Amino acid sequence: MTEKVVLAYSGGLDTSVAIGWIAEQTGAQVIALAVDVGQGGEDLDTVRERALACGAASAEVIDARAEFAADFCMPALLANALYMDRYPLVSALSRPLIVKHLARVAIESGASMVAHGCTGKGNDQVRFEVGLAALAPDVVCTAPVRDSDMTRDKAIAFAAEKELPINVTSRSPYSIDQNLWGRSCETGHLEDIWEAPHDDVWGYTDDPAAGKPAQEITISFEAGLPVALDGAPMSPLAMISELNALAGAHGIGRIDMVEDRLVGIKSREIYEAPGAMTLIAAHSELESVCLERDLARFKRQVEQRWTELVYDGLWYSPLKQALDAFLTQASGHVTGDVRLRLQGGRAVVTGRRSPAALYDYELATYDSGDMFDQSLAKGFVELWGLPSKIAADRDRRAAAHSA
Ligand code: ARG
């Protein structure tokens, strides 16, 4: 019986060539699997046709946008996930979803292998393979670019020789990965970390300095999840798409950073995540109002750990899953509205209200009606400082003794 390989197919040069390349190397039938995570661009029927034209035995396309929004982007929002305090995990979130479908199709079709187009220098190979090991441990993974020396030159030559229907000349100088949560852009002139990003790197955002008038929006949350925009109820998918358009028009969510990859190298990355950055700004502000202080402090540590686990390809790990349970529990009272002003590349919170607020006007006010009993503060301050005071006394005695 002919072996089968399920290939994570993007429609681009590398994975188009990989279809024939893998078939030649392994003698297996290639099943191309394209997953729509909101990357935009070509429609999926075109992608499917190309896979077949490039020699795939069959091709499957899946619209996973709603699943990606609800099951991958929303948990990242609960975690206010920003790797190195800046990168909202765009690509790191889509890989575990793609892996889930790769594993499912491999198991359903009796395939013994899956394949991806990653190089050996990035994080995405780790995310694919570590995820696969958790979801389909008996399925072997192959990566032609990394494992069988499918270099760019060879890929172009292969495409020409086999007359594959791919336009190799229209390639961008950048390596771009896009989805609903954002857009990653690397390589080309960006590899000189002193060089400012050229205008052509941006795809999801307009120029923040264009001088557009400010726009106000209100996002409503229930248990940490966004449920309505300006009062209109919305699914996570609709919410993120809508905010990408609104905030993107104001140039919000542009990030230019040098990042620590899991494989040990630093790399320069340009990200755009207008919807994600706006949601994180609103969500974390509402948390400031609704989370008790110790819970909020501890949650920050959980957020960081969660983010690192996901960045490092451990979406399906036990610790990540346990932290998800914490995040859900911690978010129970994060309900209310946040108003933001979008302008000049920034989403600035200007108002917040919540039925579950821990902010208490009568405790906070300096006006009449103040319910805070200031006489309690005197003794509190004395006891609070007592350990330091005792230690400082001891240090003075020791200093006097040794003088
Ligand atoms: N450095 C980012 C990450 O590891 C983005 C990777 C983007 N992938 C790509 N093929 N351009 O999450």
Reported as a single tens digit per residue, the pLDDT across 321-380 is: 999 999 999 999 999 999 999 999 999 999 999 999 999 999 999 988 889 999 999 999
268-287 tens-digit pLDDT:
999 999 999 999 999 999 99
Residue 168 confidence (pLDDT) above 80: no
- 172 catalytically annotated: no
Atom of ligand 1 nearest to the CA of 118: 10
Q: Is the CB of 269 under 6 A from ligand 1?
A: yes
Residue 124 Cβ contacting ligand 1 at under 6 Å: yes
- Kindly tell me if the per-residue pLDDT of 311 is higher than 70: yes
Q: What angle do CA 340, 345, 350 make, to 5 degrees?
A: 20
Architecture per CATH, 4-171: 3-Layer(aba) Sandwich (3.40)
Query: Rounded mean pLDDT of 199-206?
Result: 97
Rounded to the nearest angstrom, the distance between the alpha carbon of 275 and the centre of ligand 1 is 18
**Cα–Cα distance list, 59 to 8, 35, 355 (Å):** 10, 11, 50
Interatomic CA distance for residues 7 and 52, integer angstroms: 12
pLDDT tens column, 43-82: 999 999 999 999 999 999 999 999 999 999 999 999 999 9
Place of tokens 């929002």: 77
Residue 172: band (very low, low, confident or very high) from pLDDT cuts 50, 70, 90: confident
Q: Any idea which residue has 């301050």 for tokens?
A: 381
Q: Whose CA is nearest to atom 9 of ligand 1?
A: 177
Query: CATH number of the domain at 176-291+333-353, out of 3.30.1490.20, 3.40.50.300, 3.90.1260.10, 3.60.40.10?
Result: 3.90.1260.10
The reply to whether ligand 1 has any atom less than 6 angstroms from the CB of 67 is: no
The reply to whether ligand 1 has any atom less than 6 angstroms from the CB of 186 is yes
Q: In the predicted model, is pLDDT for residue 102 greater than 70?
A: yes
Q: Are 247 and 347 in contact (CB under 8 A)?
A: yes
Contact 5, 143 (CB under 8 A): no
Instruction: Locate the DSSP E strands across 192-263.
Output: 215-222, 225-229, 232-233, 254-260
- Average pLDDT in the 395-400 region? 97
Would you call 261 exposed, middle or buried from its count of C-beta atoms within 10 A (0-12, 13-18, 19+)? middle
pLDDT digits 0-9 by tens, 103-154: 999 999 999 999 999 999 999 999 999 999 999 999 999 999 999 999 989 9
User: How far from 260 is each of 83, 84, 95, 308, CA to CA, in Å?
Assistant: 9, 8, 18, 11
In this prediction the pTM is 0.96
**From the CB of residue 181, how many other CB atoms can be counted at a distance below 10 Å?**
28
Examine the residue annotation and report whether 175 is marked as an active-site residue of this protein.
yes
At 170, is the pLDDT very low, low, confident or very high (cuts 50, 70, 90)?
Answer: low
H or E stretch including 399?
helix 375-402
Is 14 in the active site? Answer: yes
d(CA 343, CA 349): 11
